[in-house]
Structure 1
Amino acid sequence: MDRRELAAFLRSRRERITPAEVGLPAGPRRRTPGLRREEVAHLAYISTEYYTRLEQARGPRPSREVLGGLSRALRLSDAERDHLHHLAGAPPGPPPGPSREVRQSLLDLLRRLPRSAAFVTSATMEVLAWNDLAAALMEDFSALPPRERNLVRRAFLAPRPEGVRLYGVSDVDAFARLSAQRLRGAAARYPDAPEVTGLVSELLAGSEEFRRLWESHDVSAEPTLCKTFQHPMVGPITVNCDALDITDRDQQVVIYTATPGSPDEEALRLLSVIGTQRMDQQLDFPA
């Protein structure tokens, strides 16, 4: 265990993360860059005293469970997670939870699809990255904390003003079934990941519909190839749906396109011009 390097690495990773990235308020008197030590400790499910000792190079060798918690709290990439384990003298094992790191090539791909709404989801269906048209069609994900970007949580637990559910999509019931099945698969792959077990527990407690789907133990479903969004600014938009699996990250790239020459293509073109300008005041999406 290299205590000095471990301490420096933890401190450098902590200082680069903003509170907003982990859903925490910045607060009026924040003097330290990034997160506070007690915030990292809280996110990692360890005591502040223990984490402080690690950053001061005087802590005991952390267990794999502690290293997993620190990896999630500090939002480490796969390479950073492995490095953390080696510094602690504990060679890395299987991934502790679903990867949230999106490859740069995929981020570039999203930007190269200006006429398509495209986004990347994790194994738990959290929206990790998106292009401008996806934000205009669905909602401005950058205005939401990471927790609220999860499509499973929004499908089952989000408020439904005027009966609107999940952007008014036509296949919402089929999506609910598919999302429950995908989450069951993720729970099998990451049985000890708090973000997976916690999400499942929250959904079971808060949604009778999810509980019924979960108890069916289904793990496969037919993909939706076409759906219609009821958009409050441009009306109904029917799109073709394609999902590309990124197997090494356990992620999906979802792409919505309109039939060439159709009114739906024109509606998407209009949305690409409108963008997300002032949409928070004009749209009535679930909060």
Structure 2
Amino acid sequence: MNDRQELAGFLRGCRERLCPADVGLPDGARRRTAGLRREEVARLAGMSVDYYARLEQNRGPHPSRHLLAALARALRLEEDGRDRLFHLAGYVAPEWSSGADQHVSPAILLILDRLHDVPAQVMSDSGDVLAQNAMAAALLGPNVGRNVVVRWFTEPASRLRYRAADADGMSRAYVADLRAALVGRPDDPRPAALVTRLRAGSAEFAALWGEVGGGRDVGGQRDVGGRGAVGGSREVGLTVRHAEIGEITVRRQVLVAGEAGLRVVVYTAPAGSSAAGRLALLRVVGVQTMSA
């Protein structure tokens, strides 16, 4: 049963036990109360401040499993805390997930927080952005809770941050990552459903997925080989256009985390390069001046 009052108190208690350094945020001005501010939790979870405030005030709508998972990550909950959060909201805690409601341990999030001078984000192997640091939000836009593969192939505006010359490489990298997820988890229906959705919604994706024949049925269609991409992409070069700083050329490096289905994606530039200097400037500019 959904216990809204207990849920509100639990959220407040979890927020108040954290300090900015625990979640990779600067201390900023003097704080009148202990813990994180509501707007900081909301930003970390990828939701509106008003929505989160209403949850804490016992007057919010019933949160979805996806939002609860995002809150568990923002509040750095271990699995038992995540399970309690789900129970208070009236849900059975997930035994395991590889999608947008996937749990990310505080240890992985601590690594993300420590990567304060480079853009980095934690993603599921099928493209869901589960967490990102401030540098990633400034470079790529705040994408927590969104699937970058779906955005790339179905929302043309999502490509405006990148050069047209890099589009083919990015498309192939995303297809390779999704193929690796499909091969790695043949009994999980979600990667197959995502492939079916993208085949129907994007001619480009359908063409890339079907470049090489052979394979097994996926969603009623044949799963094909695809240029040896089963291992997934590990490193791709790309240039990101930032509205204030200009073009920043980085390497997108995918690191496989110890937790099943998780990827830590880091964007780096060679030391001493102009791109490294622009990343340093990005750290100063931050999210505040970021343009969509």
Q: TM-score range by the shorter chain?
A: 0.5 to 0.7
Question: Which residue of structure 1 aligns with residue 205 of structure 2?
Answer: 210
CA contact 1:16–1:34 (8 Å) conserved in 2: no
Q: How far is 1:241 from its partner?
A: 3.2
Task: For 1:13-52, list aligned pairs within 5 A.
Answer: 35-36=61-62
Question: Which residue of structure 2 aligns with residue 59 of structure 1?
Answer: none
Question: Equivalent of 2:155, from 135, 153, 158?
Answer: 158
- Determine what percentage of the aligned residue pairs are the same residue: 31
Q: Kindly name which structure, 1 or 2, has the bigger radius of gyration based on alpha carbons.
A: 1
Q: Tell me which amino acid in the other structure corresponds to 2:270.
A: T
Task: For 1:168-183, list aligned pairs within 5 A.
Answer: 168-169=162-163, 170-183=165-178
Q: Tell me which amino acid in the other structure corresponds to 2:129.
A: V
Report the count of equivalent residues. Answer: 229
Q: Tell me which amino acid in the other structure corresponds to 1:121.
A: M
Q: How far is 1:74 from its partner?
A: 5.5
Q: Distance in 2 between matches of 1:141 and 1:264?
A: 23
Question: Which residue of structure 1 aligns with residue 124 of structure 2?
Answer: 122
Q: How far is 1:12 from its partner?
A: 6.6
CA contact 1:97–1:193 (8 Å) conserved in 2: no
Q: Tell me which amino acid in the other structure corresponds to 1:179.
A: Y
Report Cα offsets for 1:183-231 as digits up to 9, x if no partner. 233234164445x444333312210011122234232455334322222
Question: Which residue of structure 1 aligns with residue 283 of structure 2?
Answer: 272
CA contact 1:168–1:231 (8 Å) conserved in 2: no
Q: How far is 1:115 from its partner?
A: 1.8
* Residue 248 in structure 1 maps to residue 243 in structure 2: no
Question: Which residue of structure 2 aligns with residue 137 of structure 1?
Answer: 139
Q: How far is 1:15 from its partner?
A: 9.4
Question: Which residue of structure 1 aligns with residue 246 of structure 2?
Answer: 235
- SS where residue 167 of structure 1 aligns? coil
User: Any unmatched runs of 5+ in structure 1?
Assistant: 1-6, 44-70, 84-91
CA contact 1:15–1:35 (8 Å) conserved in 2: no
Q: Given the superposition, is the C-alpha separation of residues 221 and 100 from structure 1 closer, same or farther in structure 2, using an over 3 Å criterion?
A: closer
- SS where residue 161 of structure 2 aligns? helix
Where relative contact order (Cα < 8 A, 6+ residues apart) is larger, the structure is 1
TM-score (ref. length: structure 1): 0.62
Q: Tell me which amino acid in the other structure corresponds to 1:167.
A: R
Q: Distance in 2 between matches of 1:248 and 1:9?
A: 31
Q: Distance in 2 between matches of 1:165 and 1:271?
A: 20
Q: Tell me which amino acid in the other structure corresponds to 1:262.
A: S
